[in-house]
């Protein structure tokens, strides 16, 4: 049964904190700086911040937990996290899900979590994940016990993500790099999730670099090298944006923010300046005529080719 109604209505932006606390140690000056930044994020007015058990080897959650304690009732954001494969044994079954959740809960200093995602279960077959003793069984147990308000599936590969969504088990879906001005391959996935009443998070609207930094040689899209053809397409799109006195990042973000398929767009941030820039981009208005001109460029040559579901 879908429990998405248990979630707070997300703000248009969800702040991703995958790099928070990276290379810091407890009590260091670097950790104190990271905690101050996390406090700013937790009081920024956005509904959710997004982390995971394995982000920055657990330091993202640890820093967030320290910041949440310091801000107390003053914080506006709830923390979403994810369960991850055991980094030593490679196990990702029911027992690992429960341990991963307990690790996250201890770092964050909370008893319950509003939304817990199954994160990148690429190494599992669907029968392993959904069968007895599988990872999904652990998530359902946590939801049934009230330890988590809702459960989600978070990943990239569209065939795999579509299979998890069609299982009817999950309350939310998070997919990255596949609903941008370059790659529209998550459209059918998000449409299906919408029909099922799921909450839809679209992550990485900038394609992990190409649409935020621009089409420079050596730029990557979705962690993959951008081809010359993709760089040329992006230059043409950037030229259209300039005609309307808008930046390519503003238009890339608006593509997700303006879509009726998306409840919240997840954007990674690593500094207070980045947060300020993101809030400014959110305020930009993109006219319909610009979208028509970008459509006339034809489909972008995305480098993503997702494997078939196992």
Would you give per-residue pLDDT tens digits along the chain (310 residues)? 345 667 889 999 999 999 999 999 999 999 999 999 999 999 999 999 999 999 999 999 999 999 999 999 889 999 999 999 999 999 999 999 999 999 999 999 999 999 999 999 999 999 999 999 999 999 999 999 999 999 999 999 999 999 999 999 999 999 999 999 999 999 999 999 999 999 999 999 999 889 999 999 899 999 999 999 999 999 999 999 999 999 999 999 999 999 999 999 999 999 999 999 999 999 999 999 999 999 999 999 999 999 998 8
**Domain limits for position 220:** 4-295
For residue 310, being part of any structural domain is answered with no
Count other Cβ atoms within 10 Å, centred on residue 5: 11
For residues 267 and 11, is the Cβ–Cβ distance under 8 A? Answer: no
For the question of whether the overall pTM of this predicted structure is more than 0.75, the answer is yes
In 3D space, the residue among 107, 102, 28 whose CA is nearest the CA of residue 65 turns out to be 107
Helices 59-71 + 29-42 axis angle, to 10: 60
The continuous run of DSSP H or E covering 276 comes out as helix 272-282
- For every residue of 14-74, DSSP letters joined together read EEE-TTTTTT--TTSHHHHHHHHHHHHHHTSS-SEEE--TTGGGGHHHHHHHHHHHHHGGG
The CATH number of whichever domain residue 175 belongs to comes to 3.20.20.100
d(CA 254, CA 63): 30
For residue 20, being part of any structural domain is answered with yes
For residue 308, being part of any structural domain is answered with no
Domain count, the chain: 1
For residue 155, being part of any structural domain is answered with yes
- For every residue of 65-80, DSSP letters joined together read HHHHHHHGGG---EEE
For residue 307, being part of any structural domain is answered with no
For residues 13 and 50, is the Cβ–Cβ distance under 8 A? Answer: no
In terms of C-beta density within 10 A (0-12 exposed, 13-18 middle, 19 or more buried), how is residue 293 classed? middle
For residue 309, being part of any structural domain is answered with no
For residue 285, being part of any structural domain is answered with yes
Q: Name the 3-class secondary structure at 180.
A: coil
For residue 300, being part of any structural domain is answered with no
């Amino acid at each position: 049964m879908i429990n998405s109604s248990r979630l707070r209505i997300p703000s248009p932006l969800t702040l991703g904190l995958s790099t928070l606390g990276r290379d810091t140690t407890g009590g260091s000056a670097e950790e104190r700086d990271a905690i101050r930044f996390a406090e700013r994020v937790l009081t920024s007015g956005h509904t959710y911040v997004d982390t995971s058990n394995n982000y920055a080897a657990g330091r993202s959650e640890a820093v967030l937990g320290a910041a949440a304690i310091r801000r107390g009732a003053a914080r506006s954001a709830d923390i979403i996290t994810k369960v991850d494969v055991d980094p030593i044994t490679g196990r990702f079954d029911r027992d690992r899900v429960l341990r991963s959740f307990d690790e996250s809960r201890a770092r964050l200093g909370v008893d319950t979590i509003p939304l817990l995602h199954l994160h990148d279960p690429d190494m599992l077959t669907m029968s392993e994940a959904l069968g007895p003793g599988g990872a999904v069984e652990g998530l359902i147990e946590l939801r049934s016990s009230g330890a988590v308000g809702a459960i989600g599936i978070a990943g990239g590969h569209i065939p795999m993500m579509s299979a998890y969504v069609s299982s009817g088990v999950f309350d939310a879906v998070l997919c990255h790099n596949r609903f941008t001005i370059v790659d529209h391959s998550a459209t059918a996935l998000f449409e299906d999730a919408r029909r099922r009443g799921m909450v839809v998070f679209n992550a990485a609207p900038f394609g992990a670099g190409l649409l935020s930094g621009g089409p420079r040689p050596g730029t990557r899209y979705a962690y993959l090298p951008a081809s010359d053809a993709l760089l040329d397409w992006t230059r043409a799109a950037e030229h259209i944006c300039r005609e309307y006195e808008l930046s390519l990042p503003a238009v890339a973000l608006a593509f997700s923010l303006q879509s009726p398929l998306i409840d919240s767009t997840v954007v990674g941030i690593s500094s207070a300046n980045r947060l300020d820039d993101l809030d400014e981009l959110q305020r930009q208005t993109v006219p319909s005529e610009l979208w028509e001109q970008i459509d006339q460029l034809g489909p972008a040559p995305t480098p993503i080719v997702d494997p078939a579901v196992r």
